[in-house]
Every structure is written in structure tokens, then in C-alpha cells.
Structure 1
Amino acid sequence: MGLKAFLSKVFAAVVSRELNHLRKNAVNLQQATFKKLISQAKHTAFGQDHQFGNISSYQDFKQHVPIRDYEDLRPYIDRMVGGEAGVIWPGKPEYLAKTSGTTSGVKYIPLSKESMPEHIKAARNALLNYIHETGKADFVDGKLIFLQGSPVLSQKAGIKVGRLSGIVAHHVPAYLQKNRLPSYDVNCIEDWEEKVDAIVNETFTEDMRLISGIPPWCQMYFDRLSAKAGGKKIKDIFPNFKLFVYGGVNYEPYRARIEESIGFGIDTIETYPASEGFIAFQDSQKDKSLLLLCDAGMFYEFIPADEYHNEKPTRLSLAEVELNQNYALILNTNAGLWGYSIGDMIKFVSKDPYRILVTGRIKHYISAFGEHVIGEEVEHALMSVAKAEGVDVVEFTVAPQVTPAEGLPYHEWFIEFGNEPADMDAFALKVDTALQQKNIYYADLITGNILRPLVVSSLKKDTFINYMRSQGKLGGQNKMPRLSNDRKIAEELARL
């Protein structure tokens, strides 16, 4: 065991004690965070406009601060992006994280001097918690790779601007810098495919032990590594590769193919980072759920998913949530986002400690007929059948077909298979049955002859990669939408 590995175990024990305190005191930590946020922001323009000086309880807060998405908050954000200080948080942001919104175009999410360290702390703690739980620390003595966006930053009104992953690259702790790949020059390559090829060439002969990134883009990296090595498994290229860290999408649709590429069932850590804040991470190899970080400079609110579009939805604090209910996640942050709808749905699977699963996007669902099918349901239906049938699913998306040329409407599933089912119709019917078991509204529409069972359209190899390339969203933090309420993506896929 190297010196870094030995010291990491010592540090991991300290972090473990901190996390145990979080697990046992989540509600109290949220209350303390709420009070601190209100106090710190009461003299900002937003705080004055919303009478923060008169807020002494969560009930007061709900009366003064409405729920907003990015567009609703934009008048304040535009002032901040223009260089005005003290708009939504004291001073100016340290960074603006640039993201691509589906309805708002380019979005600029503030990162303050208070919020930025929380991103680094959470990522660090996820790894140290794993070390403490498993005793496995050797990966810190080898090379670590983070497949991420370019670290090149621009400026707006004197504020540094970049992709979140590129910003984070500037804050990697010094003790990891010598272990970290890709190199700065390679990381700055903008074209994703050119970048992946350069990363393959740079890492091919290195002692890679930890790989981190969004699963579909890591799969691209693995495929190109294997091709360069004449078809070898990743375990034969990197014999000491022992830990895969991921986030951004549900891993289950990608697990079988990634493990096949690697050559064994590798240890994984799921993380839930967003530009708005690092929200949760998997804190046990025995449990796939994620520990909600309640002392990370964010006060959380939760809206029952079926009330999200109501004029006055119910707003709950952490102390009020129930298990196994889908909630829209609302953030109030130490970078100045208030009553901010991040667009994600989560559900609690434990309250001791508070652990969550991300179940989809609040705006990504199919409800063309009132069925309100969500991401968690389609992923479970497809992957449970695929696993039982030995079918390899590369990628998929689902859209409604409201006006078919003949017959009843249906859900159309566009699937790229690694290996197709022997009987596609039988496979589709099993997936449909699994979806009916997860969603009673969908089941009622099928049994009531409002919809006919789903239809699978099998797509040729690399269709989804070509689609993402055509949209300028290949690589980085970009993800393929699982669900649509219209046919826009379906029509684009049909052209490829």
C-alpha cells in the first residue's frame, strides 16, 4: 500500500464520522441551513424584494418566495450575469456554470465562493466514504480519469464562465493532480470524438484505477480502448481498474454493456451533482440509493409530483416527506437560487438516514392520454425484461404516436440493441406488460382499448450517437432524453 492510500484511510475515518453526524441530524442541519441562508441573503436585492428580514420560519418563507424555474428567475439572473453585485447573493458569483436548457437556451447558474467548495467536498467525501466502507484505497496510488468538459473558461462582466465539469477541473486537490488524467491540453479539446481518441492514446499504457463520467460517454471511451487493443476487455488493458464513478443518468440501462466491456462487475459509486449543487451520493455498496447531503449549503423543498403544475402546490420540508412518493426537487442555495425548480423528480426510500432515488425529469414524461408515464417506469419495464431475455440495450427513447395511419394510438419505443430479441413482438409485449404493472393509468388505457400495446422500432448501430452529434450534444454532461410528449426526437431519429 502506497503512502497516499495509507493516508486516505486515515482521512476517510474522519469523513465517516462527519457523515454519521449528517445521517443522524439531517432535519436539524436543514433547519440550521435555512436560517443561515436567509440571514446571509437578507440585504440582497432578492432578499429585500421578498422581505427576508421578516422571515423567521419556513411558513413565512413559503408566503414570500414563490416556486420559480430558470425563466421565472431570469430577471434577477440577467442582472447578475450583467455584472451587478448583491442581486441574489452577496457580491458577485465566483463562476457562472453554463448549461444548455431545453426551453431556456443557454442558462447561467451561479457558483459562489460559498457554494463552490461544497461541490469539491461532496466528490471527495463520496470517494473517502467508499474507502472507509470497503477498506479499498489502492486506487489513489494509480491514475484517475475524469471524462469531462473543457476547463477553458471565458468571462462575462468579469465573472469566469464555463461548464461545471470544466470549472471543477480547476479545483481538483493538489494531492490528486499528479494522478489525474487526461492532461490539461487534451482536456481542452472541444470536439468530443477527437477528445476521446486523444484520451485513449494518452491513457492506453497508464495504470488506470478509477474512471469517472456519464455512462454512455464512458462506454464510447471503453469501445475505442478495446478497438485499439484488438478487442481486449478493459480489465486486460487496465488490470488495476477497480472503481467506476458515474452520475447524470440511471446506470441500470448501461450496466450490462459496461460490465461486458470491462470484463467483470466492477464497484460503482453513483453521484448526483448538478450545476446548482452537489445533492447526494451513494454511501453504501450494499444499497443503490443516495444519501441526501443536508449540510451542503442548500435548503431543500419537495412538491408532490402530481401537484407540480398546480397554481399553489403543496411545499414540504425534509421533515414532512413520505417514503416512495415522487417529489419535484426544489432548491434554495448559498449561490442565490431561491424556490428554484431544478427539474428533477426524486423519491425517498429511507428516512433513517434520508436516502433518495432520482426517478426522472419533471418535464420528461408521456401523458398524451393522461397516463403520466415517468422515466423510472420505462427504465424498469425495459431493463427487467431485457435482463430476463438476455437482450443487450444500448440506448432508447420513447414517444407517443397519437395519430397512427391505422389502428389505435400507442407508445413507440426507439431502441438500439446490442443484440436483438429473437422474437421482437413477444419482447415488446412483455415490456408492455411490465409497464402496465408499474403504471395503473397506462394499464387502464390498454385494457380500455384507448391505446394498443407499445411498438418497438429497432434502430441501427450508433443512431443515438449520430442524433446527439447532430444536436451538438455529443459528450460532456449531455444526456439522451428518455421520454417526450411529442414526436420531435422521433422524427429526427427516423432521418438518421
Structure 2
Amino acid sequence: MATKALFNSLVNWFIKQRIDQIQNFISHPIDTQQGLLFSQLYRAEDTVYGKLHGFKDISTLEDFQRQVPIVHYEDFEPYIERARQGEKDVFWPGYIRQFAKSSGTTNAKSKYIPISAESLEDCHYKAGKDLLSIYANNHPGNQLFTNKNLRLGGSAEMYKDFNTKYGDLSAILIENLPFWVEITTVPSRKVSLMSEWETKLKAIVEEVRTQDVGSITGVPSWMMILLQRVLQETGKPDIGTLWPNLEVFFHGGISFKPYKQQYRQLIGRDINYYEIYNASEGFFAIQDRFGSSEMLLMLDYGIFYEFIPMDEFGKSTARVLTLEQVEMGKNYALVISTNGGLWRYVIGDTVQFTSLSPFRIIISGRTKHYINAFGEELMIENVETALDSACSSTGALIKDYTGAPVYMDGKNSGAHEWMIEFSKEPDDMDTFTRIFDQRLQELNSDYEAKRYNDMTLRSPIIHVATQSLFYNWMASRGKLGGQNKVPRLSNDRSYIDPLLELYHKEKAR
């Protein structure tokens, strides 16, 4: 009892210290960001990239934006390859020994994201501690530190290439975790390090079914598969019965909106839900208020933020804004400079600011995950809201989906084609389609204009997917588990056509 009291006292002390630090960057956001940027420029001035772009001569933000170019992965890849092959001081001081291999949802090509010692400790691990601190500060009566956390990552297999290692970010995090984290989390390191998804899933179920789980962390779609397997194996009516002390789900990677009602049914009662925004490139934001979908932009993780207005994105005249220049409610492409050595790197996500004091955001989509084949500029946020309305009106629950354009053909107008896998199908599919279409028109004036009299776009085409279609498709691509995500929107048919082919094969059986 005395040991537990001492542990709780130490935890509470740490929480208070960190909450005070978070409050400091909330109060001084611009100073925090600029101090961070110039500190990192100084550290990297003698690197190959630093010398090439004159980091030593940069004394103002204007100098930085003039001398250092905006880059995408393809632009920066030659430098990453040099570091992967063991070269020192390429874009960050010293050797980079570990690289997170991206799941490549926006490009078929694999990406290797550098993970420095600083980005590992001062960004990813710091964020994990902050997540617990923020949650505990919001819920003083929590039992988070007396029960197990169930984590579900991707493949934990690491590969050696040249003099470096690469693998999923989750593999790097697990390999470097301190011992005390291993004591408080499940599954064990041995099971987490399994690479084959089905074998790993069975092993996880065997380990966690007898544990007292108080929190779960992972991507909603994959966590749902795991929890459903747990119920199948234990015969329990719901997860809340198996784990009576379960109190929170820390989730990220995809929108939680289509899953929330399903989790309520799966768990059997209400718990707390907290969203996080992280990627291989860094950890960016944490939901800091209970019940809110907004996330606090974390400003002291070694990441300097810039933003390109999406209505200017891709243009040579596009402005690149800093925090003091952004506005609420506008879509921005996120640009980051990090303590992993990425400089003015376009990550591929779009965000909207919901508050400027403090700076809070929501993820609004991807720079490449949209449908704009006819000038409709359909973003993921529009689709999620419209699907939610259609589900609410027809009693449906969605498991997975993706959408793509149907191009104009002769006299035929175009359309959007959707593959939707339901865990509970609508009462009436025609009503579902009509409400979905109407809501999209209400949310997006460009879409509404293109739908006028079916001149450019006709009514959406929706296929009801066979059960486990998306799972089988992801398996065929070698992308089961963890950080791998079903691409929601595409401006071409590279995703939906293979899905349709598999769909017709499964329907024919």
C-alpha cells in the first residue's frame, strides 16, 4: 500500500511539472516555436544539408523561408538514402541509425523516415508521457497507472540494410522502450515482435484475455478486429464485462467518427476517448479536453510548423504561413522541420485550426486523398460528416469504405463510386444514398454545383461490400495491422478497381 501511494505521488508530481510546461508554450507559442527553430538550425549548420542551404547565415524567419526549399519525400530522398547507407552529418548531426518505413498510403513507393535519438526521445516518447499527463490531469480519479495498457502496433519486425535498421515506427518504439513501460503494457515484447498478423493476433488474444486492462491504444479499425476476436475466444457478452476497469481508448490514424457507436456496443458501456495525431515523421497533437474532437498542437517536441493554404497548394505563388498568420476554418497543408532532420517537409496531411489561443486543430484530410476530378474538391471531412448523417438516419454502421471518381464517358456525366463495408447495413440503401448525397451538397458548394441537374455529376454509386472485403484486400497487399490504413478517397481509380475485382470474385463464390 505504501509503495502504491509513493508511486502515485511521483506520478502526480511529474504530471504537475509537465502540465506547467504545456501551459508555458500555450502562453508563449510564437517564442517557443522560433526558439526551437533557431536552436535546431544551429545544431545542423555543419551538416551537408545545412551547408548547402546556408544555415549559418540564417538569422531571421524570412532568411529561413528564402534559403531552405519546401520539399516532398521525393525531393528529400537522395539525402535520406545517403544517411541510410551510413553517411554521417547528412541533414542532422551524427549518424541516423533507425528509419521508420512508411506504410505508403499516398505513394506505392516505400518511404524511409529518419528517426534520430532526439526525435525518438524528445518527440515520440515525450508525447506518450504527455498523453498520460493530460488524461490524468483531466480525470483525477483515474486508475490508469494501476491497470494494464493494451497497445496494438504494426509489424514489429526490424530489418538491417547497410549499417542501419528500418521497420514500422511501432517496431522502433518497442525496441527502444524503457523497462518500466514493458511492465505496464500488454502484449509482451515477445508477442509484439511477431511479424505475421494472424499468428500475432492469436497470441495477443491469449495474453490479454486474462489481464486487467484499463486502457487501450491503437488505430480504431485494427483495434476493433482484435477486440472482436477477444470476445469470440472468451465468450463474454462485451469487452466491459471482461475488463471492468477499462476506462479510456487512445486512438489515432483514422477518423473515429464512423466507429464510435460500434465501440459503445462492443464495450457495452461508455468509456473515455482521446484522439492523438502522430505519424512516422513526428507526434503533432493531442486531444487535451474531454469530449472535444479538437487537438492541442504540441509546440515543444522539436517540430517547427508551417502551413500552405490548400487553395494555393501546388502553385508556384503559394504562401507558406507560420502560426501567427493562420486563420480558423481554413484547410492547410502541414509543413514540418524536425529534430529528425526533415527540413520544410510536406507531410501530406491537411489540418484546420479550430482555435488560435491556444492553437488547436482537427485533421481535415490529405493533400493527395481527395476527389477533385470535376472541380468538386471533395475532402475527407465532408465525406465523414455526410456518412455519419446517412448512418444516423438509416441505422447503419460502417466498418470501412473508399471512394473514387467515375470519369465522363461520351454523353454520360461523371459520378463518385463508393465501396462501403457495413457492420450493420442500412434499413434502406436508397435512402442511405439519397441522404449521403444531399448532405454532401449541403456541406460542399462545389459538389452541389456539379450535381445540379446531374450535368457534371450524377448520383453516387454505392456498392455494399462483402464481409471482410477490405481485410482480404489489405492482406493481398501485405498491409495487415497497425499503421496500415484503408485509403478513404482517391482522385483516380487505383484503389477502387482492384477492390471491385475482388468484390466480384467474392460475390461469384
Q: Could you tell me the TM-score, scaled by structure 2's length?
A: 0.94
**Alignment deviations for residues 424-450 of structure 1 (CA, whole Å, 9 cap, x no partner):** 112101111111111110000011521
Which residue pairs with 1:105 in the alignment? Answer: 109
Which residue pairs with 1:447 in the alignment? Answer: 452
Matched, 1:72 2:75: yes
Which residue pairs with 1:241 in the alignment? Answer: 246
Q: 1:5 offset after TM fit, Å?
A: 4.1
Matched, 1:489 2:492: no
Contact 1:367/1:485 (8 A) holds in 2 = yes
CA–CA separation in structure 2 for the residues paired with 1:103 and 1:460: 26
Contact 1:9/1:135 (8 A) holds in 2 = no
Matched, 1:459 2:465: yes
RMSD, aligned α-carbons: 1.7
SS of alignment partner, residue 352 of structure 2? strand
CA–CA separation in structure 2 for the residues paired with 1:26 and 1:193: 45
Contact 2:250/2:273 (8 A) holds in 1 = yes
CA–CA separation in structure 2 for the residues paired with 1:223 and 1:185: 22
Which residue pairs with 1:368 in the alignment? Answer: 373
Which residue pairs with 2:258 in the alignment? Answer: 253
Which residue pairs with 1:153 in the alignment? Answer: 158
**Alignment deviations for residues 21-78 of structure 1 (CA, whole Å, 9 cap, x no partner):** 1211111101101111211111111111111122111111121111111101112111
CA–CA separation in structure 2 for the residues paired with 1:421 and 1:161: 43
Q: What is the letter of the counterpart of residue 304 of structure 1?
A: P
Contact 1:120/1:171 (8 A) holds in 2 = no
CA–CA separation in structure 1 for the residues paired with 2:77 and 2:15: 41
CA–CA separation in structure 2 for the residues paired with 1:400 and 1:242: 41
Contact 2:401/2:488 (8 A) holds in 1 = yes
Of 115, 120, 129, which residue of structure 2 is paired with 1:116?
A: 120
Aligned ranges 1:6-405 → 2 under 5 Å: 6-101=9-104, 102-103=106-107, 105-117=109-121, 118-230=123-235, 232-403=237-408
CA–CA separation in structure 2 for the residues paired with 1:14 and 1:299: 23
Which residue pairs with 1:417 in the alignment? Answer: 422
CA–CA separation in structure 2 for the residues paired with 1:136 and 1:158: 48
Q: 1:8 offset after TM fit, Å?
A: 2.2
Contact 2:197/2:481 (8 A) holds in 1 = yes
Question: 200-209 or 103-112: which moved more?
Answer: 103-112
**Alignment deviations for residues 321-375 of structure 1 (CA, whole Å, 9 cap, x no partner):** 1111100000111111111000000010001100000111110110110111111
SS of alignment partner, residue 495 of structure 2? helix
Q: Could you tell me the TM-score, scaled by structure 1's length?
A: 0.96
Question: Mind listing any 5+ residue stretches in structure 2 that lack a counterpart?
Answer: 503-509
Q: What is the letter of the counterpart of residue 81 of structure 2?
A: D
CA–CA separation in structure 2 for the residues paired with 1:486 and 1:104: 14
CA–CA separation in structure 1 for the residues paired with 2:147 and 2:140: 16
Query: What's the % identity of the aligned pairs?
Result: 38
Question: 369-378 or 396-405: which moved more?
Answer: 396-405
Q: How many residues align?
A: 496
Contact 2:394/2:428 (8 A) holds in 1 = no
Q: 1:160 offset after TM fit, Å?
A: 3.0
Q: 1:311 offset after TM fit, Å?
A: 1.9
SS of alignment partner, residue 418 of structure 1? strand
CA–CA separation in structure 2 for the residues paired with 1:121 and 1:36: 19
